[in-house]
Amino acid sequence: MARKGRAAILPNNIILLQNLVKRDPESYKEEFLQQYSHYESLRDIFMVNGMAQTAAAAAAASSSTNGVADDSANRVETNSVGINGNASVGELVELIGFISQVCSCFPVQTANFTNELRQLLLEHHKTLPFELKEKILVSLTMLRNKGVISAEQLIQTLFPLLIAYSLQGNSLGLNSHAKELRRLIYNNLVTLLKNCNLGSKNQKLNKSTQAICFNLLDQPDSQGIWAAKLTRELWRRGIWDDSRTVEIMTQAASHSDAKIALSGIMFFLDADREREETFEENSDDDDDSVNVDALKHRLEINKKTGKRAKKLKNAINTVKKRNHTKGQANQNFLNFSAIHLLRDPQGFTERLFKEHLSGNKRNNKFTMEQRISIMQLLSRLIGTHKLTVLGIYTYFLKYLTPKQTDVTKIMAASAQACHELVPPETLQVLVRKIADEFVSDGVANEVAAAGLNTIREICSRAPLAIEETLLQDLIEYKQSKAKGVNMAAKGLLALYRDVAPEMLKRKDRGKTATLEIIDKQRNGTKNSTRDARLQFGADHGVQGIQGLELLAQWKRDHATAEQNDDNDAANWEVDNEGNSDGEDVDGAWVAVESDKEYNVASDSDLELSDDDNDNEETATEKTKTTAAEAFQELATTRILTPADFAKLRELQTEDNVLQQMGHSARDQGSRNEEIIDAAGLVGPVKYKQTREERIAKIMEGREGREKFGSRKGKREDGHSTTNREKQRKKNFVMMIHKRSVTGKQKMSLRDKQKVLRAHITKQKKRGH
């Protein structure tokens, strides 16, 4: 009986059948198999037609010389085949969709199906019509989502297609829709990789895809552009963020094809910024889309309905989910910049320089702009990793002339490429060239300022890059009338007062530096921390813990105050955090003196207290401590707790803020990694503003401000007519006999004049 009921629903279109099969695959197996064999016969017809089509096309091509009659016959034939093809395309598309929808219900019967689709696509894509190709692609993606084929298989299908369609020959073919297909395939690839890496990273898939990318870039043709593009996209989205990815891009960057090389180079220059922007955008979206608090509040105020409550619940769920994924994303996402993840920065930089910039003359495949990008990347690499690529400094010399386009960028790059491990002789040439070309009385103010600023940037990285006499000459520009030049020279002066005051003229050294030098001379050289002269290659390695002196300073400042209080109150407290490692061994509670500094180290109590006393003494003597002293003081005597580190971090950020405000000297360590702003090298330039600029500035000032001017007689809130208005509008005939009106005629002339005068002034004041 059940059979009969089922038979009552007779499927006579594919969609209906699909619905039925999905609901009850076993009962409709027969129909499915029928449709499957229908698909097979259609496919066979298609294959035959396709062959005929290509053959006919070939025949038409060959017979074009033969004669008119022959040609026309051929045309009829191709025409007919084409029409037949079109007729069955729609049906085939429909059937492929149907089978791929339900084939997970019949895995045994359709074992060949996916393979066939892939073959159709890979081997016969030239003859298939666009709709069919599109459908097959979509179906394959769907099959991947259903888990019928693996992601690797899909990728192995997609990549060759992508390559095939970016070849010249294919994309020029009639109705090939190469552009659409490329976009479709590329988007498919990106979403596929995104989906596969959603929860945790699918390392296997990533590795195989990256291997394909490597292979693509190995070939000398321009197909590698897809590998570069894909990698960059995935990096931007934070899906790939390991050193293998960066390795792909290094290969792209040193590729012989200019387009690919440039994409690799731009990746290293921009990708990290792009990635940050993407993440910021995403977080922005999160913030304004759902506001749970507001929803809750509204729910409290408004009438309570089930619908609204449901809405709130949904909102809370989405927020929870998002927070969850966000946390995960942050966890997965290690924020290393691409340049830091390089495996062999020295080798990469040398190769890049050799292949793209230096050497043979025929290397003019890059435009000037592109060459500047390469220079920027090279200098950034050299600066960040302190590499030694000596050729680049002489290469810069060629371009360092004021007439050069975008010279500020080149100057910024040349400054970026300097660091203290480059031999001073090499850099001195560079600095000399800049000084000769840019800094003289004959050039414009901006040019001189740019030159001086560049020299300052170079010297801040490598103080030995300038000779003493040149430095002293350049500092003479501090008396320049032009503000930019003046400021630049003063900046240079300030730098050398800090770094090497000995190189300055005596009058320029300033008070503190002079005192220091005198002090040193008095004490002899053995006590001084710094040698009289800077030396190349002297060790400036990282010592101790960064910012420790700040912590020491802070402790000292607070210790004295706190100690007094605590001693008076004599309250005891146990510092669990500090004690846990040392004291638990004893297993007994130990009362510890409650000063905050008191952290137990492995030393005995007695020694420690001595140290404390010493510290306090020094604290009272000197307010400022050096890093070395602080290290001596804190790190040797005690173990730093997490709380200490937190405080340290806080102090460091505070100090950084102060630095930003221009309060304190910069530190040497992180200098190399910050990027020099090319536009900033020229310094402040003041032009006369145009009218538009001035108006814009005025308007900017008015933003969010109430309008000025009298508000007399302007009432914005709605109101009824006033008595005065009523009086004024009253009918004249009604008023004519009132005394106030008749009396006016009896007024004396003088009174009339007075009234008139008063009226006039009143009107004037009112603004009529």
Partner 1 sequence: MGKSKKQKQKKKDFLKRKLKVGKKADHPSNQTDTSFVAKTISLKNQHLEHETDLSKRLTLLRHHNITVRKETLQDYQKHLPEIIKTQLMTPLLTHAIPLICDDSLAVRDSLIDLLDEVGKLDVHVLVLHCNIVVLYINMAMTHIMPRIQMDSTRFLGCLLKYCSDEVVRQAWLKLLNGVIAVLGWGMFGNNQASGALQTKKRDSKYTKVHLDVLTELIRVGCSDAKSRAAADDTNNNEEEDNLENYVEDNNNISEPFMLAEYPQPYEYLKLFARTLKNKKNIQTDELAVNSSMANQDIDSRRAIFKEQFLKKVDKQVDAIIKDGGECGKSANNLKQLLDELFV
Least Cβ distance, residue 70 to partner 1 (angstroms): 10
Residue among 11 and 402 whose Cβ is closer to partner 1: 11
Q: Is 760 in the site for partner 1 (CB under 8 A)?
A: no
Stretch that binds partner 1, among 6-14, 218-226, 493-501, 514-522 (CB under 8 A): 6-14
Q: How many CB atoms lie within 10 A of CB 719?
A: 7
> Which two structure tokens, joined as six digits, stand for 708?
């000025």
Rounded Cα distance between 440 and 442, Å, is 5
Asked if 421 touches partner 1 (CB under 8 A), the answer is no
Structure tokens, 353: 């320089």
Pick between residue 79 and residue 394 the one whose CB is nearest to partner 1: 79
Nearer Cβ to partner 1 (116/566): 116
Shortest Å distance, C-beta 62 to partner 1 = 17
Q: Which one, 48 or 309, has the nearer CB to partner 1? A: 48
Under the criterion CB under 8 A, does residue 160 sit at the interface with partner 1? no
In the complex, least distance from residue 90 CB atom to partner 1, rounded to whole angstroms: 12
Which residue among 22, 24, 44, 618 contacts partner 1 (CB under 8 A)? 44
Q: Applying CB under 8 A, does 132 fall inside the site for partner 1?
A: no
- Give the shortest CB-103-to-partner 1 separation in angstroms: 12
Residue 725 lies near partner 1 (rule: CB under 8 A) = no
Binding of partner 1 at residue 11 (CB under 8 A)? yes
CA distance 290 to 312: 10
Number of residues assigned to the chain: 768
Under the binding rule (CB under 8 A), the answer on residue 149 touching partner 1 is: no
- Per rule CB under 8 A, is residue 23 in the interface with partner 1? no
Q: What is the residue whose two structure tokens read 């298939």?
A: 128
Whole-angstrom CA distances from 484 to 347, 452, 665 are 40, 9, 21
Give yes or no for a contact between 383 and 417, defined as CB atoms under 8 angstroms apart. Answer: yes
Place of tokens 């009107």: 763
d(CA 89, CA 136): 12
CB of 77 to partner 1, least distance (A): 6
388 near partner 1, judged by CB under 8 A: no
Question: CB 167 → partner 1: shortest distance, Å?
Answer: 22
DSSP string, 626-676: -HHHHIIIIITT-PPPHHHHHHHHHHHHHHHHHHHTT-SPPPSGGGGGSPP
Q: 127 or 379, CB closer to partner 1? A: 127
**Counting contacts by CB under 8 A, is residue 628 touching partner 1?**
no
Cβ proximity to partner 1, 112 vs 323, nearer residue = 112
Q: According to the binding rule CB under 8 A, does residue 2 interact with partner 1?
A: no
692 counts as binding partner 1 under rule CB under 8 A: no
User: Residue 30, interface with partner 1 (CB under 8 A)?
Assistant: yes
Which residues are within 8 A (CB) of 755 and not within 5 positions of it... i.e. 6 or more apart? 747
Q: Which is nearer to partner 1, 120 or 387 (CB)?
A: 120
Task: For residue 87, state whether it binds partner 1 (rule: CB under 8 A).
Answer: yes
Which is closer to partner 1, CB of 84 or CB of 428? Answer: 84
Quote the crossing angle between the two packed helices 548-569 and 642-660, to the nearest 10°: 120
**Minimum separation from the CB atom of position 8 to partner 1 (A):** 8
Query: Cβ 42 to partner 1, closest distance in Å?
Result: 6
Which pair of tokens denotes residue 607?
């020694």
Helix (H, G, I), strand (E, B) or coil at 722: coil
**φ, ψ (nearest 5 deg) of residue 363:** -80, 45
Q: Which is nearer to partner 1, 116 or 242 (CB)?
A: 116
490 forms part of the interface with partner 1 (CB under 8 A): no
> Of 80 and 564, which has the nearer Cβ to partner 1?
80
**Does 219 help bind partner 1 (rule: CB under 8 A)?**
no
Could you say whether residue 41 binds partner 1 (CB under 8 A)? yes
Q: Which of 7, 68, 561, 661 binds partner 1 (CB under 8 A)?
A: 7
User: According to DSSP H, which parts of 167-197 are helical?
Assistant: 168-171, 178-196
Cα 152 from chain centre: 30
Closer to partner 1 by Cβ: residue 50 or 383: 50
The 10 Å Cβ neighbour count of residue 406 is 14
Q: In angstroms, rounded to a whole number, what is the distance separating the alpha carbons of residues 557 and 647?
A: 14
Query: CB-wise, 69 or 698, nearer to partner 1?
Result: 69
**Interface with partner 1, residue 100, by CB under 8 A:** no
Q: How close are the terminal C-alpha atoms of the chain, in Å? A: 97
Binding-site size for partner 1 (CB under 8 A) equals: 49
Asked if residue 251 lies in contact with residue 214, where contact means CB atoms within 8 angstroms, the answer is yes
Q: Hey, what long-range contacts does 331-339 have (CB within 8 A, 24 or more apart)?
A: 332/200, 332/201, 332/238, 333/238, 333/241, 333/279, 334/241, 336/241, 337/272, 338/235, 338/246, 338/249, 338/267, 338/268, 338/271, 338/272, 339/268, 339/272, 339/380, 339/381, 339/384, 339/385
Provide the minimum distance between the beta carbon of 68 and partner 1 in the complex, in angstroms, as a whole number: 13
Question: Could you tell me the smallest distance in angstroms from the CB atom of residue 36 to partner 1?
Answer: 8
Specify the residue, 45 or 470, whose C-beta has the smaller distance to partner 1. 45
Q: How far is the CB of 13 from partner 1 (least distance, A)?
A: 7
Backbone angles phi and psi of 675, in degrees to 5: -90, 135
Cα separation of 437 and 451, whole Å?
Answer: 8
Q: Could you tell me how far CA 501 lies from the centroid of its own chain?
A: 40
Q: What backbone phi and psi angles, to 5 degrees, belong to 175?
A: 50, 30
How many CB atoms sit inside 10 A of residue 408's CB?
A: 19
Figure out which of the listed residues 19, 43, 322, 499 binds partner 1, where binding follows CB under 8 A: 43
Residue 753 engages partner 1 in binding (rule: CB under 8 A): no
The nearer residue to partner 1, 102 or 230, going by C-beta atoms, is 102
Instruction: For the segment 47-86, give every residue that binds partner 1 (CB under 8 A).
Output: 47-48, 50-51, 73, 76-77, 79-81, 83-84
Per CB under 8 A, the segment of 30-38, 161-169, 308-316, 526-534 that binds partner 1 is: 30-38
Give the alpha-carbon dihedral of 77, 82, 85, 87, to 10 degrees.
-100
Q: Does 17 bind partner 1 (CB under 8 A)?
A: yes
- Beta-carbon contacts of 591 under 8 Å, excluding residues fewer than 6 positions away, are 572, 574
Neighbours of 615 (CB within 10 A): 18
- Binding flag, residue 600, partner 1 (CB under 8 A): no
Q: Is 286 exposed, middle or buried (0-12, 13-18, 19+ CB in 10 A)?
A: middle
Is there binding between residue 3 and partner 1 (CB under 8 A)?
A: yes
In whole angstroms, how close is the CB of 38 to partner 1 at the nearest point? 4
Residue 140: CB minimum distance to partner 1, A: 15
CB-wise, 17 or 372, nearer to partner 1? 17
Q: Contact region for partner 1 (CB under 8 A) — 31-39, 222-230, 359-367, 584-592?
A: 31-39
Q: How far apart are CA 260 and CA 221, in angstroms?
A: 10
The three-point CA angle 375-378-383 to 5° equals 120
Instruction: Mark residue 524 as left, alpha or beta (left: phi above 0; alpha: psi -120 to 50; beta: remaining).
Output: left
Which residue number, 92 or 452, has a Cβ lying nearer to partner 1?
Answer: 92
Is 517 strand, coil or helix? helix
Binding mask 102-121 vs partner 1 (x if CB under 8 A, - otherwise)?
A: ------xxxxx--xx--xx-
- Verify binding: residue 512, partner 1, rule CB under 8 A: no
Residue 571 found at the interface with partner 1 (CB under 8 A): no
Give dist(CA 349, CA 385) in Å, integer: 10
In this complex, which beta carbon is closest to partner 1, that of residue 40 or of residue 355? 40
If one counts every other C-beta atom within 10 angstroms of the C-beta of residue 2, the result is: 7
Name the DSSP class of 11: -
Positions that interact with partner 1 (CB under 8 A): 3, 6-7, 9-14, 17, 27-31, 33-35, 37-38, 41-45, 47-48, 50-51, 73, 76-77, 79-81, 83-84, 87-88, 108-112, 115-116, 119-120, 124
